Amino acid sequence: MKLNSQIIQNIRTDFPILEEKIYGKPLIYFDNAATTQKPFCVLQKIEYAYKHLNANIHRGVHYLSQKATEAHEEARSAIAGFMGAAKREEIVFTRGTTEAINLIAFSFGEAFCQEGDEIIISVMEHHSNIVPWQMLCERKKLKLRVIPMNEKGELQIDIFRKLLNEKTKLVSVTHVSNVLGTVNPVGEIIRISHEMNVPVLIDGAQSVPHIPVNVQKLDADFYVFSGHKVYGPTGIGVLYGKEKWLNELPPYQGGGEMIEKVSFEKTTYNVLPFKFEAGTPDYIGSTALAEALHYISEIGLENVAAYEQELTAYAKEQLSTIEGIRFFGTAAEKSAVISFLVGSIHPYDIGMLLDKLGIAVRTGHHCAQPLMDSLHIPGTVRASFSFYNTKEEIDVFVAALKRVVGMLS
């Protein structure tokens, strides 16, 4: 099903927030890489869950607890199916991408890393895929190696091959750059790493909302994403890990739910995936996330990807008519993100004025300061699209940008 403008208009009615007026103007929401808006079905699921299946899960013998447990575990199965995982036990719920990466950085580091070992990341990582590894490096005296990129914003795979060595313990890279939109060749990175028996973590925060992902086809060892960036609620995220790895890793946090037996002398841990889920799980979040994934699966991620590509190409073409505009990230494989600057205008000024015209874009370093440093810029203006955005919105945005640039020049 190709997403035409009639279908998009129908889809837009699924998202109540798109009706909002900002300073009296219709909201144009182009900050989808930061978080996405929520369709009615997700909002209704949250309300339904609190109204009809709210009870603490797994331990209760009563009816509601059973129902809530079933909903939570069904969500896990649905997410396993969505990601193409081999087993539902390979899906661990976290608070988001950041917590998932911290979990692996801690537990993998405890189990497998020793002084002198190396971890490889890339220059285009979000702070969430930098800082946990730096903390591990500090704790265990490891070395962090960084894959550079070319001027188009593509990772330099030939250099990556040279960085890999017998000291490399893990490679952690983003599938899609949140600033440049580059879709990295993660399949190739995984294949190359596996030749050296090095496991790979893929940060899927920016890919899962936009392109179909199958963790088994990719052969990823770990794959993580956030619920709120894929039309689900905040505070829930997913860590996929191959069973053999998850079994070998020690728990990250201790508490309820993750234990098998507790005494003051010794505690034994629960089986997968509960070993990594200390405390009362976000069973409302998990069920609502499963609903969100069901919603986009119904539309079809191939259709989403095709429409967003069309939208992004149109935006790029229209923006190119602005004198002095510079784009950052011109990779051959790109997602629905456009980062730019105009002349010497500070991105903050553009963002503030666009806001007053009802247009939400992101300005600044986008939590990727090392990337900004490598580009020798303080930040960019970033417009990031979703399938509920339209070409008409892009026309309004480009006209507004021209007006704003006129005021600031």
Partner 1 sequence: MFKSLNMVSINQIQDEIIEDFAQFDDWMDKYALLIDLGNSLEPIDDQYKVPQNIIEGCQSRVWLAAELNGDGRIVYKAESDAILVKGIVALLLRLFSGRTPDEILNADLYFVEKIGLREHLSPTRSNGLLAMIKQIKLYALAYKSKMG
Report the nearest approach of partner 1 to the CB of residue 365 (Å).
8
Report the nearest approach of partner 1 to the CB of residue 403 (Å).
8
Nearer to partner 1, 43 or 408 (CB): 408
C-alpha span between 230 and 206 (Å, rounded): 9
Nearer to partner 1, 23 or 264 (CB): 23
C-alpha span between 41 and 160 (Å, rounded): 43
Residue 94: phi, psi to the nearest 5? -130, -175
State the maximum Cα–Cα separation within the chain, in Å, rounded to a whole number.
71
Report the nearest approach of partner 1 to the CB of residue 182 (Å).
24
Nearer to partner 1, 212 or 364 (CB): 364
C-alpha span between 140 and 326 (Å, rounded): 41
Residues within the interface to partner 1 (CB under 8 A): 23, 345-349, 351-353, 356-357, 363-364, 378-379, 407-408
Task: State the residue for tokens 């955005």.
Answer: 389
Report the nearest approach of partner 1 to the CB of residue 379 (Å).
7
Q: Which helix (H) or strand (E) holds 239?
A: strand 237-241
Report the nearest approach of partner 1 to the CB of residue 344 (Å).
9
Task: State the residue for tokens 């939208």.
Answer: 311
Nearer to partner 1, 329 or 379 (CB): 379
Q: Are 309 and 134 in contact (CB under 8 A)?
A: no
Of 41, 113, 137, 367, the catalytic one is: 367
What distance, in Å, lies between the first and last C-alpha atoms of the chain? 44
Q: Encoding tokens for residue 380?
A: 């960019």
- Residue 41 annotated as catalytic: no
Task: State the residue for tokens 């997602």.
Answer: 335
C-alpha span between 56 and 66 (Å, rounded): 9
Q: Are 397 and 366 in contact (CB under 8 A)?
A: no
Nearer to partner 1, 122 or 339 (CB): 339
Residues with catalytic function: 367
